[in-house]
Chains A and B, each alone.
Chain A
Amino acid sequence: MKEIDYLAPSSLGEAYAALQTGKTSAFLAGGTDIIVQLREGRKQVDQLIDVKHIPELVSYKWTDDGGLEIGAAVPFAEIYGDAEIVHRLPCLIDCATLVGGIQIQSRACFGGNIGNSGPAADTIPALIALGATLTVGSADGLRDIRLEEFFTGPGQNVLGSGELIVKVNIPPQPANSGSFFHRFIPRNEMDIAVVNVGARLDLDSNGERIEGARISVGAVAPTPLYVAAAGDALVGEAPTDEAFARAADIAADAATPITDMRGSIAQRVHLTRVLTNRALNEALARSRED
């Protein structure tokens, strides 16, 4: 690795100031991507700004209305032991526990996975399904961005050069709602998604009618996709196999994958249909849990 400067600001203000020095910068949170990218010469910067000493970035809290705000640099492993998160937002556990092995999950974080903006990133379809927004900060203040509007291409996003992802906001989920994240890889662990899908279903109080649905698919386009039409097609329907199959067809039609070493176009379109269907069924089962 080339020589770099290391800064560890203890407030957002100090972090923004560090961005104004005229040097090229990258943020260091879990380091599981950026350290490797710098070492292998895939990225070059003058300074690394370690954000793990900024209190807002390394803590999480429930909001008064039942939403969850997760600091961008909270390591995945930190939420596994939180019984309330496991119970109320199991979809977060689904996706985080599939990112690398436990060594990666001890350090990697939602902010890093989002900031890297990989088309196959595992936490993103789950977060989009949950309706997450990002709070992004700069010297000018804070702004919120809907997660599905954040990505512009592989490794590309709308973040400005003076901006930092501060937190991920999961809105309160409706009472009869369930969410699930599914990934296909050719083995059990430690691989990058061929396709991944996050799905959320909101049912009426009888569990007989779908009031809302959100479906997001990864690794089938230059960015993670939010397929609004697939969810909208379910609204007003009963949660039947036929309705789920129609939504899965819409998701598969929205997929524009490439053929690469992980899978072909045909396989990825097929997997989009299968995983969407399964994720909807699992989300339905969860909506019926306490």
Chain B
Amino acid sequence: MPTRRTHIQTNLNGEEVDFLCEPRQSLLEVLREELGLTGTKEGCNNGNCGACSVIMNGRVVNSCCVLGVEAEGAEVTTIEGVAEGEALHPLQQCFLEEAALQCGVCTPGFIIASKALLDSEPSPDEGRIRHWLAGNLCRCTGYDKIVRAVLKASDMEEVSA
């Protein structure tokens, strides 16, 4: 039997995109394997680690726990859509300045999750940041540098706002 593929239209990083996918494929698989957007990482593939975080219709989700077909008509932002051209997002800049990454596999997920937080709450305190990022696992940094980077980015965004 031929593989059944569904035609899906979605707004991906600000552009209208079409793709074909099977109902069984996760959004994570579609992003990486059909669309070549490999910035979104596969970690646990079961909703625990947050490495595959994307923003879908304004909320941060694990793309391993979303089907590609569910993206029909949705707005999706991946790590590839965070910078503006060559200009890094304040979060990206602060992750670099604060050395908030080592191996880097969790980093796109942390930046996406942090962006979702700062988009809705520009000035979170440390406790709020730690609670918000509980669904993102990092096995290298011990988290302190990540939290510092998000705090610094929130300060930068306040200044620029």
A residues contacting B by CB (< 8 A) are 1-6, 8, 28, 30-32, 35-36, 38-40, 48, 50, 52, 75, 77, 100-104, 106-107, 188-190
Contacts and interface: CB of A to CB of B under 8 A. Distances in A.
Nearest to A1: B24
B70 interface: yes
Contacts of B116: 102
Nearest to B70: A50
Interface residues of B, number: 33
Interface string B61-72: 110111101100
12 contacts: A1-B25, A3-B23, A3-B24, A32-B47, A40-B46, A77-B59, A100-B135, A102-B116, A103-B50, A104-B65, A106-B56, A189-B131
Given A31-B67, A32-B65, A39-B45, A190 B135 contact: yes
- Return the 6 tightest CB-CB contacts between A and B, nearest first: A101-B135, A189-B134, A6-B23, A106-B59, A1-B24, A103-B62
Given A75-B59, A102-B60, A102-B113, A107 B66 contact: yes
Main secondary structure of the interface of A (DSSP, over half): loop
B134 A101 contact: yes
A35 B132 contact: no
Interface in B43-88: 45-48, 50, 53, 56, 59-62, 64-67, 69-70
B132 A102 contact: yes
B66 A31 contact: yes
Given A4-B23, A35-B65, A189-B134, A103 B70 contact: no
A100 B44 CA distance: 14
B134 A35 contact: no
Contacts of B56: 106
A106 B134 contact: no
Contacts of B113: 102-103
B4 interface: yes
Contacts of B65: 30-32, 35-36, 103-104, 107
A35 B53 contact: no
Contacts of A38: 24
Contacts of A102: 60, 113, 116, 132, 134-135
Contacts of B50: 101, 103
B119 interface: no
Contacts of A189: 131, 134-135
A145 B35 CA distance: 45
B22 interface: yes
A103 B24 contact: no
A101 B26 contact: no
B6 interface: yes
A28 B50 CA distance: 20
A6 B6 contact: yes
Contact of B61 (A3, A4, A50, A103): A103
Contact of A104 (B4, B23, B67, B135): B135
Given A3-B4, A36-B47, A103 B69 contact: no
B80 to A, nearest CB: 18
A103 B22 contact: no
Given A3-B3, A31-B70, A103 B23 contact: no
B92 interface: no
A100 B23 CA distance: 25
Contacts of A2: 24
Contacts of A36: 46-47, 65
A188 B131 CA distance: 9
A276 to B, nearest CB: 25
Contacts of A104: 47, 62, 65, 135
B136 interface: yes
